[in-house]
Amino acid sequence: MTNPVKPFRYVMQIVLCVTLLLGIASSLSAQERQNELPQVIIETSEGVIEVTLRPDIAPATVENFLTYVQNGFYEGTIFHRVIPGFMIQGGGFDENLSRKETGDPVRNEARPTAKNLRGTIAMARTSSPDSATSQFFINLTDNSFLDAGVRGPGYAVFGKVTGGMGVVDAIAGKQTGQSRGMADVPNEPIVIHSVSQRKADSATE
């Protein structure tokens, strides 16, 4: 008489092997997708921040941001607004707190499924939804009230910090004050030396 336990064990081993292989394939696929997404390196006076952009959820916003990157716009700008437990904001003023001239605003691509979670990067804007230009902010915590549909149109998330979050937290810990009519300005300038797009081949090394 055939022992039914052995065939059952054999089937279970096959199932486990298939599940493992599918898991590996899924992980590799996710890694490949990650490598396909554009990445930028933000070199600051406090260290380097790596950001992976998401053109799949905010195509116009990413294109707008990369245009400023490619034009060298962010070189010499600062993080001019730093609020612990909330966010750090930069990309619009130089060390003298002079506003840089920008291009046309980009439409607001905020969506309820792209949430302002810790480490995400989003576009800063005025009270007008479609007013974002060059300024961006990095969320220090989950700021759900900035999400689309919570208190209005929301703020467009277009990427996430994938390296150097410690640098972001270090910037958040700097002493701030009032300067030239602006609040929450770091007492010592936090300078963005450069923002550059990482080449696809170097992202996979």
State the DSSP string of 149-169.
TTSSS---EEEEEEE-HHHHH
Show the domains of the chain with their CATH numbers.
39-197 (2.40.100.10)
Return the pLDDT at 199. 77
Which among 200, 204, 168 has a CA at the least distance from the CA of 79?
A: 168
DSSP assignment letter at 18: H
Residue 133, classed as helix, strand or coil, is: coil
| pLDDT < 50 positions in the chain | 25-32, 202-205
Return the pLDDT at 2. 54
What are the helix (H) ranges across the chain? Answer: 5-36, 59-70, 165-172, 200-203
Tell me: the pLDDT tens digits for 162-187? 999 999 999 999 999 999 999 999 99
